[in-house]
Structure 1
Amino acid sequence: MNAVPWLSALWLIPTLGAIGVALLPGGRGARIPQIIGMAVALIVLGWSIAIAVEYEASGNTRFELTESHRWIPAIGARYELGLDGIGLVLVLLTTALVPLLMVAGWRRAADLPDGPDGEHGADPRIYVALTLAVQAMVLLSFVATDILLFYLVFEAMLIPMYFLIGGWGRLEKSLRARAALKFLLYNLFGGLVMLAGVIGLFVLTSRAKLGDDGRGAFGLHELTTAIADGRLDVGGGAGKAICGAFLFAFAVKAPVWPVHAWLPDSAVAGTPSTGVLMMAVMDKVGTFAMLRFVVELFGDTAKSFAPWMTLLAVISIVYGLVLAIAQTDIMRLIAYTSISHFGFIVLGVFALSPQSQAGATLYMLNHGISTAALFLVAGFLVRKRGSSAIADFGGVQKVAPVLAGVFLLSGLATLSLPGLAPFVSEFLVMIGSFTRYPVAAVVATVALVGSAVYILWTYQRMMGGPAPAAVEDVTDLDGRERLVLFPLVAALIILGFWPRPALDVITPSVNQTLASVSVAHTHPVNVPQGGVR
């Protein structure tokens, strides 16, 4: 326990900020809500940096900065928070991206459309408030160590994201509403399946007389301790059913083929900032939970699911690649690349080796940065041109060379070019996976060649060649857009050559995760931490 409630404040600050912005008097235009929203986002970023300074990646304790309070005694649920290295890098990713997304969506009051069908909607207060609400819930999910608490926020974050997708975007209102409903139905169904697993877990723990009063328990530490000393058995049919329910819900959130269909429509329906908030931040909750609440909790039961999850991961990699190549809309193309990238992350998680899981965690961070850069620069270009059809472009590098350069570098990052951040994480996933699933690793490696096709071919069609008359009016990145994109580009380069700070934080937590459930035949190791040399 800590005198300072570091982790509670982490999610309460954006929550209170969201409430405050939503309660602002109407009719004041966009500037006041945006200024307050930006101030709150920067405060949260500063708080997360203070948490990172306070955090000790020693490996001596499973979680740092822990908080624990009685919450629902009748069922053994507690308000329990804790932070490990895996959660820390995702917390920093979330808190760093949200201020950039605020700037990306920055508009003067005079620029806002009058009707509800405009790109940023009629009421900027609600847009800013919903963005902060999503941030708060995602942050709480990364630090919650009570499974019931995690489940509640896992489901609650769907509501503000639903309204963000349906309320603001460049598509017609009916199309946005359809995409938002599809997003909600898929994820609610996954959540209902997880709820069945949570109830089943409560039944098992209550029969085992776990918890303060023997009424059951949901705390990760208590559950893993009970499993280790034999008081709780999750290896039978009931344990497999619960593990499968959790896996299904997390696969929907990630998303993984074949429960991925909601992502492309949802990503392109909302604003580019909403798409990044969903793909780069919220979807990481699914893959994070696979590590936290499947691998660590269920041990050998999770190991029995590993071959099937590996198969789905490889299918996701190839499927996302093929569908990306076939797209004629640049925003949908980027959305399908994310499905392929999440396949690599899931492959790393279920290869169950220290290298692959460290690579998967680093991949979550790097994917968030590269996808944010690519999706935002594409969004800026689409807004300037007034179309997202790839065929409507050409010669952009002649009229907007800086924009074209950022697009190319971000695209090269998504195909894991050496020297850029995703290369290190993908390399770790590949070498960690090859020892257990060599065929899957080979297929995934070959798929990387295909990723060069959709990135370079798309760049050639959009940025090269002669510029049509409509493209000649496209302007280069302005100061606001450069302020958003240049930090992301810098992060891709720095983490590409110097991933050690991130890996120093991640590796002890990965080793503890694998050691605590004894699913890895390999001993804990120090993951290679050098950059590209």
Structure 2
Amino acid sequence: MIDLPWLTTLVVVPFVGALVVWGLGATRARTRVRGVALAFSLVEVVVLVAAITQFDTSRAQEFQLAETASWIPSIGASWALGVDGVSLLLVALAVGLVPLVIGAAWKENLTPDGGLGRTGTYLVLVLLLEAFMVTVFAARDVFLFYVVFEAMLIPVYFMIGGFGQGARRRYAAVKFLMFSLAGGLVMLAAVIALYLQGPGGDQGFLTDNLTGLALDETTGRLLFCGFFLAFAIKAPLFPVHSWLPDAAQSAPAGTSALLVGVLDKVGTFGMLTLCLPLFPEASRWAAPVVLVLAVVSILYGAIMAIGQSDIMRLVAFTSVSHFGFIVLGIFAFTSLSVTGSSLYMLNHGISTGALFLLAGFLVARHPRRSQRIADYGGMQKVAPVLAGTFLVAGLSALSLPGLSTFVSEIMVFLGTFARHEPLALVATLGVVLAALYVLLTYQKVFTGAVPEGLETLPDLGHRERWVVAPLVAGLLVLGLYPAPALDVLRDPAQQTLTAVGVEDVAVDLPAAGPDETTSDDTTATHDGSDQ
């Protein structure tokens, strides 16, 4: 094993890239910022691949590539990074999407003045956001996690308000900021209170030192609610979701791809890796309410998606529905459902990233850059490659067998059904509704007569095809051969159940061998007395 600070390097590379791109604004080389930004994002991919080779998949439930250094010892904060199987895949998702977003924004025009230009400023924000995303998924210090959790708001705010479109972009940016800050302030109070319950010292915020505390029932439940509210807003989960459709409608397509595809996973990631192990009794106590909210999110998001006239808002509402599936699997408390939810986070990022980028390519071709679904029609005759790739991405949103989202969604359903049969049955309505919002949208946009003035729109160019190809490949490869991803997610899921204090429920799959048995009568939860 090569002894290098791999995770810190993954944080530093995009940060340095942002500084270099910013510095080019003062030189005549400002027109090269796109190439420089892309180069740094590709170097980041190379570093990630090297780091993955150092990760032992047989110990995926353990935090590896770990680094711990003193940061602010006077308050107990440390620069502590480490990844298990779940966080490694989410770091990979973030690192993989950034060069695609940069490629998608390649044709943005630079301003003619002597400054950095709009494209350069946007790319600085993208690279800065990448550094924050890697840090938040790898953070193993609660204070560090909180600081980066809040710091991510800054680049996203400017990416929406400064580079979005429409008269409501500033409103959408402020709404996103206010929702996120409100949740973050509640979380800050919970972080401080949790620290006071812990051992203190110069490493008092390390998650290892805050896990397994003997919290009294009321304190544990209040702290859980503080963390959960912030994560529910970030996810987002009904009823604190309303900022997302506005943000997606106004933001550039690449921003929405990162926001919904990666950043919002911080919410479900936090539920899985902080709420459950830090507050096991409170997690079991809150599970019934959270499960109901998850099912409501599934149905509400899908119904709202069907009624949308704006294609970006439609994709945003589909994500509200999909996040409901992820939360459902997490709080169903079976190893199959938790593994499925962990995989769902990765698959949803790929699927939604593809949908937003393809929708952005479509909108960029319209003479008025219209996002209204009714302004399109017959696009498969004009741009068949765009139509075909959009169809694949759309079918992944409805979890068609053979695509990656099907694997994760069926795991969530089977795992949830084993413990909460009525909720799983109601949640299946979301699959039917998904078929409606995907197929109806495809029919309106890509079939029928071509509206006047759109007959000569160009199909996807070489650059755009290179942007979309990795995402489509990811949907197919993980749909046909998900084993490598599942291998690093199973053990963390089992460890999560152990930390929460629940027994697993075995699921008798159709392909099970004759010696495998079901245990539907397995005890669902302990009383917590053995904690």
What amino acid does structure 1 have at the position aligned with 2:259? M
- 1:33 match: 33
- 1:390 match: 373
- 2:49 match: 49
SS at match of 2:79: strand
SS at match of 1:398: helix
- 2:193 match: 200
Return the match for 1:256 from 237, 240, 243.
Answer: 237
Q: Offset at 1:74? A: 2.6
Q: Offset at 1:122? A: 4.2
1:137 correspondence with 2:118: no
Return the match for 1:346 from 320, 327, 332.
Answer: 327
Count of aligned positions: 507
1:292 correspondence with 2:292: no
SS at match of 1:170: coil
Q: Offset at 1:59? A: 2.8
- 2:173 match: 180
SS at match of 2:489: helix
Q: 1:439 to 1:524 in 2, by over 3 A?
A: closer
- 1:218 match: 205
Query: What TM-score, normalized by structure 1, do the two folds share?
Result: 0.91
Q: Offset at 1:82? A: 1.0
Q: Quick one: distance in 1 between partners of 2:469 and 2:186?
A: 41
Quick check: 2:160–2:252 contact (8 Å CA) kept in 1? yes
SS at match of 1:388: coil
Quick check: 2:295–2:426 contact (8 Å CA) kept in 1? yes
Q: Quick one: distance in 1 between partners of 2:347 and 2:363?
A: 24
- 1:118 match: none
Q: Quick one: distance in 1 between partners of 2:508 and 2:200?
A: 34
Quick check: 1:18–1:130 contact (8 Å CA) kept in 2? yes
Q: What are the Cα deviations for residues 411-464 of structure 1, in whole angstroms up to 9, with x where unaligned?
A: 010000000010000000001111222122111112210110111111111111
Q: Quick one: distance in 1 between partners of 2:409 and 2:240?
A: 23
Q: 1:64 to 1:311 in 2, by over 3 A?
A: same
Quick check: 1:370–1:492 contact (8 Å CA) kept in 2? yes
Quick check: 2:61–2:85 contact (8 Å CA) kept in 1? no
Q: 1:29 to 1:390 in 2, by over 3 A?
A: farther
SS at match of 2:80: strand
What amino acid does structure 2 have at the position aligned with 1:441? A
Q: 1:477 to 1:61 in 2, by over 3 A?
A: closer
- 2:80 match: 80
Sequence identity (%):
47
- 2:299 match: 318
Q: Offset at 1:374? A: 1.1
Superposed, which structure 2 residues align to 1:77-476 within 5 Å?
A: 77-107=77-107, 111-112=109-110, 122-172=117-167, 175-205=168-198, 210-212=199-201, 217-224=204-211, 227=212, 232-385=213-366, 386-476=369-459
Query: What TM-score, normalized by structure 2, do the two folds share?
Result: 0.92
Q: Quick one: distance in 1 between partners of 2:112 and 2:313?
A: 27
Q: Offset at 1:494? A: 0.8
Deviates most, 458-467 or 468-477: 468-477
Q: What are the Cα deviations for residues 334-365 of structure 1, in whole angstroms up to 9, with x where unaligned?
A: 11111111111111111111111110010011
SS at match of 1:183: helix
Quick check: 1:62–1:84 contact (8 Å CA) kept in 2? yes
- 2:462 match: 479
Q: What are the Cα deviations for residues 382-421 of structure 1, in whole angstroms up to 9, with x where unaligned?
A: 1101211111111111111111111111101000000001
Quick check: 1:511–1:524 contact (8 Å CA) kept in 2? no
Runs of at least 5 residues in structure 1 that lack an aligned partner in the other structure = 116-120
Q: 1:524 to 1:157 in 2, by over 3 A?
A: farther
Over aligned residues, Cα RMSD in angstroms? 2.1
Q: Offset at 1:516? A: 3.0
Quick check: 2:418–2:505 contact (8 Å CA) kept in 1? no
SS at match of 1:78: strand
Q: What are the Cα deviations for residues 194-222 of structure 1, in whole angstroms up to 9, with x where unaligned?
A: 001011101211xxxx1447xx7221122
Q: Quick one: distance in 2 between partners of 1:468 and 1:113?
A: 33
SS at match of 2:419: coil
Q: Quick one: distance in 1 between partners of 2:60 and 2:389?
A: 42
Quick check: 2:298–2:323 contact (8 Å CA) kept in 1? yes
Quick check: 2:351–2:393 contact (8 Å CA) kept in 1? yes
Q: Offset at 1:60? A: 7.6
Q: Offset at 1:5? A: 0.7
Q: Quick one: distance in 2 between partners of 1:160 and 1:2?
A: 33
Q: Quick one: distance in 1 between partners of 2:364 and 2:231?
A: 33
What amino acid does structure 2 have at the position aligned with 1:384? R
Q: Offset at 1:71? A: 2.3
Q: Offset at 1:473? A: 2.3
Q: What are the Cα deviations for residues 209-251 of structure 1, in whole angstroms up to 9, with x where unaligned?
A: x1447xx722112222xx2xxxx32342111111110000000
Quick check: 1:31–1:107 contact (8 Å CA) kept in 2? no
Q: Quick one: distance in 1 between partners of 2:67 and 2:441?
A: 49
What amino acid does structure 2 have at the position aligned with 1:252? I
Quick check: 1:76–1:217 contact (8 Å CA) kept in 2? yes
Q: Quick one: distance in 1 between partners of 2:441 and 2:4?
A: 50
Quick check: 1:240–1:301 contact (8 Å CA) kept in 2? yes
Q: Offset at 1:99? A: 0.4
Quick check: 1:369–1:492 contact (8 Å CA) kept in 2? yes
Quick check: 1:348–1:356 contact (8 Å CA) kept in 2? yes
Quick check: 1:6–1:65 contact (8 Å CA) kept in 2? yes
Q: Offset at 1:299? A: 1.2
Q: Offset at 1:114? A: 6.0
Quick check: 1:235–1:301 contact (8 Å CA) kept in 2? no
What amino acid does structure 2 have at the position aligned with 1:319? Y
Q: Quick one: distance in 1 between partners of 2:129 and 2:508?
A: 36
Q: Quick one: distance in 2 between partners of 1:93 and 1:100?
A: 11
Q: 1:61 to 1:450 in 2, by over 3 A?
A: closer
Q: Offset at 1:26? A: 3.6
Quick check: 1:59–1:509 contact (8 Å CA) kept in 2? no
Q: Offset at 1:75? A: 2.8
SS at match of 1:10: helix
Quick check: 1:85–1:506 contact (8 Å CA) kept in 2? yes
What amino acid does structure 2 have at the position aligned with 1:295? L
Quick check: 1:235–1:300 contact (8 Å CA) kept in 2? no
SS at match of 2:107: coil
